[in-house]
Amino acid sequence: MLSLEGITDSIHNWLNHALNPTLAMLSEFVMVGLCVITLFAMLGLVLIMMERKVSAYMQVRIGPNRVGPGGMFQTLADTLKLVVKEGLTPDGADHFLFNLAPFVVLSASMLALAPVAFAKGFQVWDLPIGILYVSAISSVSVIGILMAGWASNNKYSLLGAMRSGAQIVSYELSAGLSVLTIVILTGSLRISDIIQAQQDGWWIFKGHIPAIIAFVIFLIAVTAETNRAPFDMAEAESELTAGFHTEYSGMKFALFFLAEYVNIFIVCAIGAALFFGGWMPFHIGHWESFNHIMDFIPSSIWFTGKTFALIFVIMWFRWTFPRLRIDQLLNLEWKYLLPISMANLLLTTFVAIKGWYF
């Protein structure tokens, strides 16, 4: 199978041959950091343009079409506008926390990206507890959101931050239980092990009904966790102006905006790894000829295709369903999704003990 594994091994061996181990390790840290920052910038440009084009398609209009061929440079022009725009801090705000909050949110997104496997043997850090790590780090972003809402000294910002905190903490439960479904079937928290376990078929097919239920709940829960419509009560424009980032402008606003789209990419990448095999090609049991043909497609292409397919579904949600009220949002989690998730976890445990998956 074609992969990026050889590139990373070659760079690692060359650095260790040219430098002493300490300098080689530091050089790798710097290279990984630059790659992550570059990836964040590219994801922001691509996903915002994708959002605009998808929304235009859903609403039967053209979308951005002036800057560059087909409007493909529109997001670049918007980025330049945000870079040169003055960043204002309200007089009554807590200046230190107000300026720190965007970096806390973005840093949490950067840390959560570490265990994501972009291709075969191509990830920043293959943690033995990768799934637990992502769940823990993704919870840190709510601290930055609460910090931004409180430090702004604005009632709309504070209300949006409190809504976001209640929403993220609530839906983390269902998201975590749906992830545990695949962990039980696999028997490992390591993301590479979960992907390898799907060599003869993705869990969405092998796990039968429990895996399908877990996937549906996971998709709903992560949509709510990323504050995406129809769960965007934290930044409801018709009620709260812009929610927790009402008072932000310039690059500080851009960091919040970028973190939202990067979080969408991360949760979709995790969803692709858990339910659709991540970078693993589509294999069917012992169909050797078919599986061999699928292996010709590079692992990075499989990962990118699955991830962006899930991103498209989340964007589809935004332009299909109306925004929920905050009471409806919390009722959906505590009265429906959480009980279903707990029952599904028991069903998955029973299926795993009996070995009724293939």
Q: Is 34 part of any domain?
A: no
Q: Are the CB atoms for 240 and 246 separated by under 8 Å?
A: yes
Q: Is 4 part of any domain?
A: no
Q: How far apart are CA 70 and CA 209, in angstroms?
A: 42
Task: Say what the pLDDT of residue 343 is.
Answer: 96
Q: What's the CA angle centered on 46, arms 42 and 48, to 5 degrees?
A: 120
Q: How far is CA 345 from CA 26, 145, 187, 265, 350, in A?
A: 43, 31, 14, 26, 9
Cα four-point dihedral sign 280, 41, 140, 219: negative
The helix (H) or strand (E) run that includes residue 204 is: helix 203-206
Q: How far apart are CA 326 and CA 321, in angstroms?
A: 15
Task: Say what the pLDDT of residue 16 is.
Answer: 84
pLDDT, one tens digit per residue, over 97-114 is 999 999 999 999 999 999
Task: Say what the pLDDT of residue 1 is.
Answer: 46
pTM for the whole thing? 0.91
Residue with tokens 């905006």: 257
Question: What are the backbone dihedrals phi and psi of residue 113, each rounded to the nearest 5 degrees, phi first?
Answer: -75, -15
Q: How far apart are CA 88 and CA 200, in angstroms?
A: 55
Give, to the nearest 10 degrees, the angle between helix 130-138 and helix 95-112: 160
* Sequence letter at residue 353: I
Q: Is 9 part of any domain?
A: no
Give, to the nearest 10 degrees, the angle between helix 21-58 and helix 5-18: 150
Q: How far apart are CA 115 and CA 127, in angstroms?
A: 6
Task: Say what the pLDDT of residue 21 is.
Answer: 84
Q: What is the largest CA-CA distance in the chain?
A: 68
Q: Is 68 part of any domain?
A: no
Residue with tokens 């199978």: 1
Question: How many residues are given for the chain?
Answer: 358
Domain count, the chain: 1
Residue 119, strand partner residues: 122
The helix (H) or strand (E) run that includes residue 179 is: helix 155-186
Task: Say what the pLDDT of residue 6 is.
Answer: 66
pLDDT, one tens digit per residue, over 131-164 is 999 999 988 888 998 999 899 988 888 888 888 8
Task: Say what the pLDDT of residue 253 is.
Answer: 87
Q: How far apart are CA 64 and CA 70, in angstroms?
A: 7
Q: Is 32 part of any domain?
A: no
pLDDT, one tens digit per residue, over 36-77 is 889 988 998 999 999 999 999 998 898 888 888 888 899 889
Q: How far apart are CA 261 and CA 250, in angstroms?
A: 17
Six token digits for residue 331: 């009722």
Q: Is 22 part of any domain?
A: no
Q: Is 331 part of any domain?
A: yes
Q: Are the CB atoms for 295 and 1 separated by under 8 Å?
A: yes
Task: Say what the pLDDT of residue 307 is.
Answer: 95
Q: How far apart are CA 158 and CA 241, in angstroms?
A: 12
Q: Which domain holds residue 113?
A: 87-354
Instruction: Say which residues have a Cβ less than 8 Å from residue 341's Cβ, sequence separation at least 6.
Output: 173, 174, 177, 178, 214, 217
Q: How far apart are CA 339 and CA 191, in angstroms?
A: 26
Residues with pLDDT less than 50, the chain: 1-2
* Sequence letter at residue 29: F
**What is the Cα 336 distance to its own chain's centre?**
24
**What would the DSSP string read from start to end of 51-87?**
HHHHHHHHTTS--S-SSSGGGTTHHHHHHHHHHHSPP
Q: Is 223 part of any domain?
A: yes
CA proximity to 348, closest of 225, 219, 220, 218: 218
Locate the DSSP E strands across 207-296. Answer: none
Cβ atoms < 10 Å from Cβ of 83 = 10
